[in-house]
Structure 1
Amino acid sequence: MKTINILLFSLLCSAVTFGQGKFLTKQGYTSFFSSSPVEDIKAENNQVLSIIDTSTGSIAISILMKSFMFEKSLMQEHFNENYVESDKYPKAIFKGKIVDFKNISGKEQEVSIVGDITIHGVTKKLETRGKINKTEGSITLTGDFPVKVADFEIEIPSVVVNNIAETIKVTFELDHKPYKK
């Protein structure tokens, strides 16, 4: 009987620990898409770092700007050197919360995500919707949101102003796994 009680206590403790753990991805995906009458521009990044604290629903995302890959190398060079100034502002950061995280069940459902996003040294409030699928071994979060280039003080030279949309679409896919120290 004593052995069964110890076993049950151990299982309960591991369930509590699981419910209050951290989930991490180092290979999340994000992309952005700019559509203009002159050309479409798409860049992808598969080196997105993201962590979710399941006890609070907090989420933090870090994106290395130089990891965005473009179809044309010249676009990538201009993006890093002239627009987002990757040497000066190497990362985009999001710190926020998945609203009502504790009420998320095991099936895919829509969630609200709120927080602060910092791009090009400028921080703005961000509120968006996404889809989450939470299981014992994974938390997948997907979605998209618009970003106004001017809001982040990214200057577009007049020569190419018609090539880049004023608002770009950012897409994300983050597949978090339990974080083990």
Structure 2
Amino acid sequence: MKPIHILLYFFLSTTFTFGQSKYLTKQGYTSFFSSSPVEDIKADNHQVLSIIDSSTGAIAISILMKSFMFEKSLMQEHFNENYVESDKFPKATFKGEIQGLQDLNTGQQEVTIKGNITIHGVTQTIETKATVNKTDEAISVNGSFPVKVADFGIKIPAVVVNNIAEVVEVTFELDHKPYIK
């Protein structure tokens, strides 16, 4: 009987420990900002899904493109229909690694994040600096990086080319809590 109890205890403790290394958010925040001589365009998205494996530093992010909200509804319509083609490419994703996350102590620290971002069906490798705030109950990741619109096959019509910057600034704030199945 005792070997069965030991085996059961080992299984449960392994499962519990494994579960504690995963951190999740379903309400992360991302935005992008385009500044041009004609106008500034900003869009916010509060429905960002992200998961981190703190034992490896792996991070995955999924963003529903139609969840970006603009000040003007016409901008939102053009963004979804003409530029990112949200019906054809409904999500932007990122899969990568927070370098050295497993070695970080609690507290706030600057890190490097490397990985592949896919927008509009095009995948590019990026590397950016970010701030990680790690506690026993959460992992927050905040930062920003530039995105060159043309690198993702997003075509801007000549009629509005002066209204939209060639490079937009993407900002993210992801507050992860322990993932419990």
Which position in structure 2 is the counterpart of 1:41?
41
Residue 55 of structure 1 deviates from its aligned partner by 1.5
Residue deviations 1:122-152 (CA, integer Å, cap 9, x gap): 0000100000011111000000000000000
Kindly indicate whether the alpha-carbon contact (under 8 Å) linking 2:20 and 2:180 is maintained by their aligned counterparts in 1: no
Q: Aligned pairs, how many?
A: 171
Which position in structure 1 is the counterpart of 2:170?
170
Kindly indicate whether the alpha-carbon contact (under 8 Å) linking 1:34 and 1:164 is maintained by their aligned counterparts in 2: yes
Which runs of 5 or more residues in structure 1 are unaligned? 1-8
Which position in structure 1 is the counterpart of 2:134?
134
User: 1: distance between equivalents of 2:45 and 2:20?
Assistant: 29
User: 2: distance between equivalents of 1:19 and 1:44?
Assistant: 31
Which position in structure 2 is the counterpart of 1:108?
108
User: 2: distance between equivalents of 1:54 and 1:139?
Assistant: 9
Which position in structure 2 is the counterpart of 1:50?
50
Q: What is the 5 A alignment of 1:6-155?
A: 17=17, 21-155=21-155
Which position in structure 2 is the counterpart of 1:3?
none
Structure 2 counterpart SS, 1:108 = strand
Residue 83 of structure 1 deviates from its aligned partner by 0.1
Return the TM-score normalized by structure 1: 0.90
User: 1: distance between equivalents of 2:164 and 2:138?
Assistant: 36
Which position in structure 2 is the counterpart of 1:159?
159
Residue deviations 1:28-58 (CA, integer Å, cap 9, x gap): 0000000000000000000000000112110
Structure 1 counterpart SS, 2:159 = helix
Kindly indicate whether the alpha-carbon contact (under 8 Å) linking 2:20 and 2:179 is maintained by their aligned counterparts in 1: no
Moved more, 99-108 or 85-94: 99-108
- Structure 1 102/19 Cα, relative in aligned 2: closer, same or farther at 3 Å? farther
Residue deviations 1:75-108 (CA, integer Å, cap 9, x gap): 0000000000000000000000000112211110
RMSD across aligned C-alpha pairs, in angstroms?
1.8
User: 2: distance between equivalents of 1:158 and 1:35?
Assistant: 17
Which runs of 5 or more residues in structure 2 are unaligned? 1-8
Residue 21 of structure 1 deviates from its aligned partner by 1.6
Aligned residues with identical type, % of pairs? 72
